Structure 1
Amino acid sequence: MADRSSVERLWLRGFHQPKPGAPRLLCLPHAGGSASFYLPVSKALSPAVDVRAVQYPGRQDRHAEPSAGSVQELARAVFGALDERAETPLALFGHSMGALVAFELARLLEDAGRPPAVVFLSGRRGPSVERIENVHLADDARLIEDIARLDGTDSAVLRDPELLQLILPALRADYRVVETYRPTPGPRLRSPFVVMTGDADPRVTPDEARTWSQETDGTFELQVYPGAHFYLVAQQQAVLARIQATLRRLAPGTGAVV
């Protein structure tokens, strides 16, 4: 059985050394995404913030591992990798599929008496908005078309048959996880929510993003940025400034430069 440190290294990736006592920001990727997507976040916020990113199974150095079967399975695995002895504030940031994982992880943390200081939820409608989606059952051409529409994958990758064969299994598995997701029953959370979305996102409208307010009794903020599903790439500076300002309120002295 793997020890805790090896489990943590498998699931949680750090790119820069934080200063002692820095608040933690745990970043959860989108469908098909990897921990390295959040390298720019770590570069901008470190060393004032201890930025860690989750590496899901089924991709990059974990490509030989089977993909997770559900959002809840991912949340439980990440929960098990977190250091329960850590005393610094923990914030969660999840984009798209990662928002769902962050939400379920926040529930586990609250149940354990370790509520996150804040939950950033990006590019995803609240779980109360139900929509039938079955792209994961479609053929490869339809799946690739949907990925291209979101404009988050290099078009050169989508034109390379060999690369596609490497990434499509994990992508399809992630789509299945998202499209079959049903929230775990339970009380509203107590953690503050900061919800972010693009004003032209084909997957979520600002009104649908606002429905996350139904899931918490904590404070709620909605930030709408110009852009589509991957607005956070083009609007990186503004998004990082919002994260930094929120963390500074929670942990004075967080003076990262964005």
Structure 2
Amino acid sequence: MALSSGPHSGQWLRTYRPVAAPRMRIVCFPHAGGSASFFRSWPQHLPADWEVSAVCYPGRETRMAEPAITSMAELAGRIADELAPRMTSRTVFFGHSMGASVAHEVAALLAGRGVAGPAVLLVSGRAAPHRLRRLGSGDDGLTDEELLARVGGLGGPGTEFLQDPELRELFLPPIRADYRLVEAYAEESKAPAVDIPLVAYYGTDDPDPVPDDVRAWAELTSDRCAARAFPGGHFYLVPHEAELVGDIRERLVALG
């Protein structure tokens, strides 16, 4: 089954520049509070027969009316259900920040089901799961003020909307839900290993994760693992999008 049939591939996947018979597919997993459209410009940096799809989490964009999911097990499980009948050996996963953890869990779930998983797992701006630490304190995690400070400090796209009280009411709930998921996952993660090549990307000025925690992804694959740093902070991939996607393209082409 093809991964996409049009610009909107269904409830869970959005595809930008659909390809009838793609030679390579990249499935992208957004960061906490992020949306599928974060990856809308990636196809311009890739060959015409490569396809980019992005996961659309509940609670944002076309799924704004749906409640966001606060359990990694539920989120990864539902995404795995969606992807399982669509996988080919020429599919790779890319996840940034929280999305790296989601992509990893989905890859592990597919492998556990005996389904062909991604040919390569690309993780970005995220500590290996066994190196994760909680962000907040106490059972309630981050307060609204702490959460806003945290999101604003990362400098991601769209943070200016959080300064407007009305827009904040719209955008804060899915961010809150994602951070609850992140907090719980940091405590509960069992760090499942995968048997596929892995590449870990990070920004040199990102205070969290630190480089050693990113490189620790190598401990979770029985295959090879590489790391690549780019100048910048947690959202280094915004100004360095073309360079990052170019690096991904070169690595995938080298696989043959």
- Fold similarity call, TM over 0.5: yes
CA shift, 1:142, in A, is 2.1
Higher deviation after alignment, 43-52 or 122-131: 43-52
Equivalences for residues 130-209 of structure 1 within 5 A: 130-134=132-136, 137-181=141-185, 182-184=188-190, 186=192, 188-209=193-214
How far apart in 1 are the matches of 2:68 and 2:89?
A: 31
Aligned partners of 1:93 and 1:119 also within 8 Å: yes
| Equivalent AA in structure 1 for residue 240 of structure 2 | Q
Assess if the C-alpha contact under 8 Å between 1:25 and 1:51 holds in 2. yes
**Distance in 2 of aligned mates of 1:141 and 1:219:** 41
Please tell me whether the aligned partners of residues 8 and 81 of structure 1 are also in contact (alpha carbons under 8 angstroms).
Answer: no
Determine the C-alpha separation between the residues in 2 that align with 1:72 and 1:42. Answer: 30
Q: TM-score, normalised by structure 1?
A: 0.88
Tell me the distance in 1 between the aligned counterparts of 2:191 and 2:207. Answer: 28
Matching residue of 1:256: none
1:109 is aligned to 110
**1:128 partner SS:** helix
Q: Deviations over 1:150-183 (max 9, x none)?
A: 0003353122111110010110000010111022
| 1:16/1:43 contact within 8 Å kept | no
TM-score by length of 2: 0.89
Q: Are positions 1:29 and 2:30 aligned together?
A: yes
- CA apart distance, 1:86: 4.6
1:207-246 correspondence runs (5 A): 207-246=212-251
**Shift in Å at residue 234 of structure 1?**
1.3
Unaligned stretches of 5+ in structure 2? Answer: none
Residue 121 (structure 2) aligns with? 119
* One-letter code aligned to 1:183: S
User: What is the correspondence of 1:15-26 to structure 2 with a 5 Å cutoff?
Assistant: 15-18=16-19, 20-26=21-27
Shift of 1:202: 1.8
The change in CA–CA distance for 1:92 and 1:85 in structure 2 (over 3 A counts) is closer
CA contact under 8 A between 1:147 and 1:153: conserved in structure 2? no
Matching residue's letter, 2:12: W
**1-side partners of 2:179 and 2:213: how far apart?**
19
Give RMSD over aligned pairs: 2.0
Q: Structure 1 CA distance, aligned partners of 2:31 and 2:94?
A: 11
Gaps in structure 1 of 5+ consecutive residues = 253-258
Paired residues, number: 245
**Letter paired with 1:198:** G
How far apart are residue 89 of structure 1 and its match? Answer: 1.0
CA contact (8 A) 2:127 2:209 kept: yes
Structure 1 residues 51 and 140: CA distance shift in structure 2, 3 A? same
Structure 1 residue 46: Cα displacement: 5.2
Query: In structure 2, how many angstroms separate the alpha carbons of the residues matched to 1:59 and 1:87?
Result: 28
With over 3 angstroms needed to count, the CA separation of the structure-2 counterparts of 1:80 and 1:62, relative to structure 1, is same
- Residue 135 of structure 2 contacts residue 183 of structure 2 at CA under 8 Å; is this kept in 1? yes
